Structures are given as C-alpha cells and as structure tokens.
Chain A
Amino acid sequence: MSQTVQKSGSRSIGQRRWQKFKTIKRGYYSLVILTTMYILSFLLPVLVNDKALMVRYNGEYHFPAFTSLVASFPVIDQFVSVFQSGESLGQLGNPGQVRYRDLQKQYENENGDNIVIMPLYPYGPIEDITTDGNSAFMEPLVSEEGQPARLMGTDENGRDVFARMAYGFKVSISFALILVFLEYLIGIPIGGLLGFKGGYYDLIGQRILEMWATLPTLFLIIIVVSFIQPSFILLVLLLSLTAWIPITTYIRAEFYREKSKDYVAAAISIGVPTWKIMFKHILPNSLVPIITNFPFAVVAGITALVALDFLGFGLPPPTPSWGQMLSTGLQNLTKWWLVFSPMAALFATLIMIVFIGEAIREAFDPKTFSRLR
C-alpha cells in the first residue's frame, strides 16, 4: 500500500509528461501509427517489390527480395548485388534482370516443381516502361492482362505510383530525421555557447546568426545542385547549413535564463568546468523547447525535401520521392492519381506529425486559462 503511494508520488516530471501525452489520444495514436509505419518501411523490399520473396528453380532456392532488403541499407549496398539474370532462372532469351512476375506465370504454366512467391504488392518503385507489363499512365486498379492490379496506377514512365509512394515515405522520414539530428548537433552547442557566454560573444554571434538566417537558402541550394549531382547526404548537409538557426535561438534564450539561476552559480563556485556546466547542468533543464520543437522541425524537413524535389533540385532520379511525383502530377493535371497519391501520403504524414507536436507541446507546457464567466 505504502509502496504504491510512494511510487505514484515520486513520478518524475518526464513520467508525468508522458502520462499527459498518452491522454491526448490524437497525438498518441499518431505517434504509434507513424512509428510502426516507419519501422515497417524498412521492410518495404519484402512487402512491396518486383523481386520475388522466394524462387525455387530446379531444386535451388533464391531469395531476391531479401537480398534487396539487405541492399536497401546504405554502405552495405556497395557490397551486395541484386542482379540475377533471367536465363539463370529459366527465363529464356532474357540475359538481363529477371522479370519475376513473368517467371511466376511461366512456372505455373510449366506445372513443374518450380515456384515463385511474390511479395504482397509485386511492383517495385524503380522498374519502368522498359520492363514488360509497365505502360505509362495506367489508371488506378487497372493492370495489364493477367497481372495483379495496381493500387494507384502508373506514372509517365510506367513506374508504379503506389510503390513509389510507399518508398517515398521511408525516404522522406529518414531525410527529415537525419536533418533534424544535424540541426540539433550544430544548433545546441552554438546556442548554448552564445547564451552562456553572453557579452561580446553573444553580440557578434547574434550578428552572424542574423546574417546566416537571411541567406537565401533555397537559391543557394539550387545553384549548388546545378553543378554538383545531388545525393541524399549532400542535400541533408546543404539544408542543415541554415536549418539550425531556429534551434540556436531557442537554446540561446534558455541558456541565457538558466545561467543566472542558483544551481549554475553553485556549480561555478565549486569549479566545475564550463563545458560540464553547459551540457550536464544547464542542458537537461533546457530541453523543453528542443523536444517541443522536434516534430515541427521534422515537418519542416519533409516539406523542404518535397519542395526541392518538386522543383527538380532534390534527390537524383529515379529515387522515389513525393516531390518528384507531385511535379509529374502538375505536368499531367488530367491524370489525377499522380497528384492524389503522393499528396495523400504527404498530408497524412504531416498531419500526424503535427498532431504529435501539438500533443507534446500540450504535455510539456499545459496552459490553463482562468476566465470569468
């Protein structure tokens, strides 16, 4: 009895905030759904792919989808080849990449021991019009003779819109998460230093920040991208060059306020080194704006990537990206599914993240207004 009382009485502020967060259903469920989907998105190569899950050919087993799952991670992809020639699996006259959907039908017709098991949704994000069975501008739920239906049709290159949308989710979220991580990595130490040191550091630092914040980022990115082939990493780095400014401003204000408190004076008086005061003493007390800002920074990151891709200065083709899909949609306004699919995915994702952000803000900073009448 006494134990339970003590337990609930000694809940930390973090636990109380988490409890509060959980009571805000909209934000809580958004978090659960998004996290699940993001984790699942790493399994996309075995869920949505034009490579077979399993092929049994003449008693030999192949697992191409799992190979492409392994190859979907950076660095590792340098060492793993997903190529499998058609002839090696009995697809005669096809020395190029094997077409598993055709292979499946072929094996069925042969009625032999050979089997092909395709993933749940047997179309890949990159295979285009050059592969049989992919024609441009197929409407949703329509497909070529004997092929499984395409949920959201195909684009101008015959690429499957649903597959691209799904892969685009992973790309977008990963991009935004890495970007925000970098923002924090740059913004927190600089903001902390400015706020903690104050004086001339602050004065000059503020001017540099102001300068940096006024830079026309998008223009500079467009110029840089026009002579360097953009890659995922390069884009993250370019965007993070200026995206850290807001974080710095928040942190600076927090540090500025915190440093005049007694515990900092106490730490200074017993000779704790500056960096230790900053990161071990003040930082944990300044986390609120960082955490509440996080979802909104992710939203900004996703939006920035979509905008760059939309203008054609983003990830190199044929990377599946929502922005590129939207710009295809703008060029083909009569093909409504081209705009609808990425738009729905983008809106749903952003709305869920904003819901999370709102709930976090509510949990960290509950505003209660007392009002007469």
Chain B
Amino acid sequence: MLQYFIRRLLFAVPTFFGCTIIVFFIVNLAPGGPYEQQVQALKAGSGFGIGSEASGTAKDGAATIPPTALAELKRYYGFDKPVYVRYLIWLGLWPRETDSYNVKLGEPRNVGEGRYVIVNQQQDGTYSIIDKDTKESQTHVWTAENAVLDSTGFRQLRVFKTEYAGILTGHFGNSYEYREPVIDLIASRIPISLQFGVIGLVLSYVICVYLGIQKALRHGSTFDLVSSSTILISYSIPGWALGLLLLVLLGGGSFFDVFPLGGLQSREYESLSLGEKILDRAHHFVLPVIASTIQSFATLTLLMKNSLLENLSQDYIRTAFAKGLKEKRIIWLHAMRNSVIPIAANIGHIIGIAFVGSFFIETTFNIEGIGKLSYYAILSRDYTVVFAFTVIGVMVNLFGAIISDFVLALIDPRIRFR
C-alpha cells in the first residue's frame, strides 16, 4: 500500500517536468511575448519604461530604439538566453542574473548599498573585480562579462550577481504586469476564489447527498423521474452560460432586479455592520455559487443514488432486514456508511476548486479571483504568472488524484492498491 503511494508520487515527478517543459516551450516560443510587446510599445512612442536606463534613451528616439536599449530589454526579460537555459533558470537549476550594472574598465561603479567595485582586465583576458574600499576580490559575488550588444560591434562591460532561484527553491519571480511577487499576487486572490468555491462545494454536497438518498429510496417514483430530468438538464448546461442567463433575468437590466450584476460586495461594504456585511456577501454570492456548482450536481447526485441503490441490494442489507432491524436504521447506519465512500473520494478535487477557480464564472460575474488573474495573465503574456499557474494546475491535478486514492484507501478497508 505504502509502496503504491510512493510509486505514485515518484511517477508524478516526470509528469511534472514533462508538462512544465511543454508549456514553457510553447509559451516562450510563441511570438508576441512580453519582450516583443515592450518593443512594440517603445516603437509606438508610448515608452512605458522598465525602470532601467534603457527606457530613458528609447523615449527620446521614439521610432528607432538604440540597440543597447533593445539588448537591455532582452536581458531584462531573460530573452538573451536560449529557451532551455531559461527553463533551467526558471526551475532554479541554472544561475539567474540578479543585479546587473554596466561598468567601465578601471572606474569605480556603485553597485548599491554604498559599495563600489572596480573591474580590471587581467593579462589572461579574465576580469578582476575588487571592492573599492576593502580592496578584496569580489569575484565570488560578482561576475563580469563582456557583453556583445549589437552587430556593429558595440561592446559594453557589465557585472552581475547570480543566484540559483527558481520554482524548485520557491522563487516564482515577479509579475511583469503588476510588478509584485507572483506568490503575493496569487495569495491575495486565493481567499476570494476559496470563499465561493468552498460555499458552493459544501452546498452541492449537502444537496446532492440528500437528493441522491431520496432518489434511491424512491427509485422509479414520479419524484425520481422528475428530478432525474431536472438533473440531466442542469448537467447539459455550462455553468457560466447559466450564470449569464441568470444575470439577464435577475441582475436588473431587463427583467427583475433581485441580485447584483457582479463583483463581491457593494460599494458601501466598508461602512456596513458585520451582520450586514455577511448578508451583502451572501447576496453577491448567490448567482456565482449557483453557476459554479450546477454542473457537478448531476454527477454527484447520481453517484450517491447509484451507490446507495447498489448497497441496498447487497446481502448484508438483506441480513439486517432479516434480523428485524428498523428500515431507517438499516438505511442510515448500514447502507449509508458504505454508500458515501465514492462521494468522499472526491475530496481530492476540493483542492483543485480552491486553487484553480473558474475563470468563466469569474469573468461572467466580474469577480477578481484566481481564475480571472490567470486568464488576464495569459492575455497580457505575464509569463511568470502563467508559469506559476501552470505549476499550481499540474500539482493540483497530480496530487488531487493521489489524495483521492489515499482517502479512498483510508475509509474503505476493502480497497487495496497495488
């Protein structure tokens, strides 16, 4: 058993690398990345800078960008290196350049925190880097490089620090778009997606389990047939499309003004009392929660129903009836315990809902959650964010399945994974 899970975990490793490699290469090789977008922006003359001296020169000569600026820009986004190196850097298996400064030979250069370094070329062509004040060699901290910047042979010397920082060391980088660490960005959005994800999940489980039980107990009755049709209809409708319909119907615009058009809270949310805040939230949550759970309704309910029906036809139930136990007791204590097993095994997906969100629902209802963040990251080619989401998505998928299996094995002693 333990072996099985260790094997599963080991198998997850190549899958993880394979998946991230594919995404990384496709995304990086696709034209129109952040570097090209920035160049376009500079060419258009709008010249929103990247905070380095490169943008300063580019602003003046709107249409012609100096090759130094281009090279600087390219280096800023890491596009001066081949794609496999970028992948290794991203993983944290290849040194990443951090602080980079242009230097002139023999002249002191401020490298931050009031420290100066002097770079000199030695006899054998390598560079020596010494601290201006302490005269100690700094080659273990700084690397000097003779950067060939363009075809005209313009050369510039620069020094940079390197460090191993990638997703394997927990370093996800900064978002190009929001200029803040990706981790913070995602962490700030998780609670929002989590809120309606969890509410929807709990609600759908409660309703589906109850409905499934009632359907199983009244198998073949009118109630069963009618609810089956309803469930089938709800299954066939994409949640976000239903959400859109509900918005038109109940969101004010044309018919009834019952629910807000979107967002998470009213404008005067801050001034409300606690009770009112909860009510306000709930009011905003109704439609998105319905839309995000409607499609899982059918699978869950039918799973519950079939599983209970299956158990009710087992021998141990016959025995219980033969013993003269009460029907209620048999159903709730004997059959139910075995029937919830497949439902409980869905637990692995809970994590998925919390972390991945749903950008369709969030786009439709204008909720600033995880899903919307990932969607806009794709649109604006915010690579660091895109890759962070790829990692999260892959992890959720891989571990969700393993956790599901694990829970299944935990609650059902009959199950043996080999």
Chain A interfacial positions (CB closer than 8 Å to B): 26, 207-208, 210-211, 213-216, 219-220, 222-224, 226-227, 299, 303, 306-307, 310-311, 326, 329-330, 333-336, 339-340, 343, 346-347, 350-351, 353-355, 358, 367, 369-373
Contacts and interface: CB of A to CB of B under 8 A. Distances in A.
A351 B14 CA distance: 40
16 contacts: A211-B22, A215-B23, A216-B390, A216-B393, A306-B238, A326-B244, A330-B244, A333-B254, A334-B254, A336-B253, A340-B245, A340-B248, A351-B232, A354-B235, A367-B306, A372-B317
Interface in B349-382: 360, 363-364, 374-375, 378-379
Contacts of A330: 244, 247, 364
A343 B242 CA distance: 8
A226 B253 CA distance: 32
B18 interface: yes
A334 B261 CA distance: 11
Nearest to A333: B253
A interface secondary structure, majority: helix
A228 to B, nearest CB: 9
Interface residues of B, number: 55
A208 B31 contact: no
Given A211-B22, A214-B19, A347-B241, 4 more contacts: A210-B11, A329-B248, A350-B236, A358-B232
B182 interface: no
Interface string B223-254: 00000010011011110110011011001111
Contacts of B253: 333-334, 336
Interface of B: 11, 14-15, 18-19, 22-23, 26-27, 30-32, 219, 229, 232-233, 235-238, 240-241, 244-245, 247-248, 251-255, 261, 306, 309-310, 312-313, 317-318, 321, 327, 360, 363-364, 374-375, 378-379, 386, 389-390, 393-394, 397-398
Contacts of B14: 207, 211
Max chain B CB contacts within 10 Å: which of A226, A227, A333? A333
A214 B398 contact: yes
A229 B254 CA distance: 36
Given A303-B238, A306-B241, A336-B253, A224 B30 contact: yes
B236 A354 contact: yes
B18 A373 contact: no
Contacts of B397: 213-214
B147 to A, nearest CB: 29
Contacts of B261: 333
Contact of B11 (A207, A329, A350, A351): A207
B312 A369 contact: yes
A347 B244 CA distance: 13
Contacts of A214: 15, 19, 393-394, 397-398
A128 B164 CA distance: 57
Nearest to B397: A214
